[in-house]
Amino acid sequence: MTRSGRRARIPSAGLIVAAVASVLVGAGIVLAVTASDDHPPARTGGVATPIEPLPPEALAVVAAGDICLPQPGSCRRTATLIDGLDPDAVLALGDNQYPDGTIDQYRSSYGATWGAFLDITYPVAGNHEWNTEDAKGYLDYFGRPYWYTFVLGDWRFYALDGTCDENGGCAVGDPQYEWLAAQLEQRSDRCIVAFWHQPRFSSGSEHGSDEAVAELWTLLEHAGADLVLNGHEHHYERFVPQDATGSPSPGGIVEIVVGTGGNTHVYPFGDPLPTSAVRLEELGVLELGLLEDSWLARFVETSGEVADRARGDC
């Protein structure tokens, strides 16, 4: 796989790691495809349409979680898709390598596919990485801490860890919460993306909504965060802007669950949450086009067609 080097047009890019390497040792959403109002009825599918280039000034970011089974073929299709999209950055949303995220598993499967984008990848650990003590395979393969922050273009990103029963906790007084609170208090960035593995809100029948990360969501909402990206449920779900209670809110956060990176064991949906806008059971990746004061999002299936689109201001 090769990339044509779109990163040259990023106004400012760099990892600003402000983290502990080891803890244990808006409004204006335009919904896509057939939707036309602010709060359309949720759907389970739609008409896929051909993909078109992002605006040339947009920062291109691709994201997905639940990626590689022990066999590299499981995630080769999404890796090929990413190669064709030629992003500036890749977000690996956890459970990047099954079953336990050991360093050997990472090297043999993830490394043979998504590893082609390692130099532009910003990962988080999922619960499967934590099957290995201290998520050591994740730490060794990526060389990233459990949580950290970085800037790409006009956007600040917060990479977090949602496996709260293993990482020291996600509530007030816990290391990650206090770190995030301090980071958000001193930030000057207007546009914010946060990502971790377990979704705060989910219509999925396998895991559903995770109360353990609720206080992280509340911190981000108070800071005016725009997007939260998650995996964990092996499907795609996009929500309308919502607040910490899960109620629609013009000033809330848009959450997108993208557990579609390669694990072919698709999880079905249960009863949809009131704020669920789109639900799809397909493999693919989320492509974001991040502009100075707005964002574009589209879910690209492995066929190369777009199954969902959205946009918003930051």
Q: Which residue has the higher pLDDT, 305 or 4?
A: 305
106-112 average pLDDT score: 96
Please answer whether residues 201 and 207 qualify as being in contact, where contact means their C-beta atoms are separated by less than 8 angstroms: no
User: Is the predicted pLDDT of residue 8 greater than 50, yes or no?
Assistant: no
> Count of alpha carbons within 13 Å of 175, Cβ hemisphere only?
18
pLDDT at 241: 97
Q: What is the pTM of this model?
A: 0.87
pLDDT at 46: 56
The percent of the chain in helix, strand and coil, each rounded to the nearest 5, is: 20, 25, 50
Classify residue 35 by burial, with Cβ atoms within 10 Å: 0-12, 13-18, 19+.
buried
Please give the Cα distance from 166 to 76 (Å, whole number): 30
pLDDT at 39: 31
* Residue range 35-74, pLDDT digits in tens: 323 333 334 455 667 778 899 999 999 999 999 999 888 8
Please answer whether residues 247 and 220 qualify as being in contact, where contact means their C-beta atoms are separated by less than 8 angstroms: no
User: Is the predicted pLDDT of residue 302 greater than 70, yes or no?
Assistant: yes
User: Is the predicted pLDDT of residue 154 greater than 70, yes or no?
Assistant: yes
User: What is the residue-wise DSSP string for 173-201?
Assistant: TSHHHHHHHHHHHH---SEEEEE-SS-SS
187-194 average pLDDT score: 90
SS3 of 279, please? strand
pLDDT at 47: 62
276-286 average pLDDT score: 95
Please give the C-alpha separations between residue 166 and each of 68, 103, 129, 143, in angstroms, as whole numbers. Answer: 22, 19, 11, 19
pLDDT at 45: 52
4-8 average pLDDT score: 40
Q: Which residue has the higher pLDDT, 297 or 38?
A: 297
Please answer whether residues 173 and 215 qualify as being in contact, where contact means their C-beta atoms are separated by less than 8 angstroms: no
Instruction: Report the range of poorest mean pLDDT among 32-41, 119-128, 207-216, 270-279.
Output: 32-41
One-letter amino acid for residue 202 of the chain? S
| Confidence band, pLDDT 50/70/90 cuts, at residue 113 | very high
Please give the Cα distance from 250 to 228 (Å, whole number): 15
SS3 of 163, please? coil
> Count of alpha carbons within 13 Å of 115, Cβ hemisphere only?
16
User: Is the predicted pLDDT of residue 17 greater than 50, yes or no?
Assistant: no
Instruction: Report the range of poorest mean pLDDT among 5-14, 62-71, 118-127, 287-296.
Output: 5-14
User: Is the predicted pLDDT of residue 300 greater than 70, yes or no?
Assistant: yes
Please give the Cα distance from 236 to 283 (Å, whole number): 8
Structure tokens at 85: 């999209």
* Residue range 265-274, pLDDT digits in tens: 788 899 999 9
287-313 average pLDDT score: 95
| Confidence band, pLDDT 50/70/90 cuts, at residue 3 | very low
Could you give the percent of the chain with pLDDT greater than 90? 75
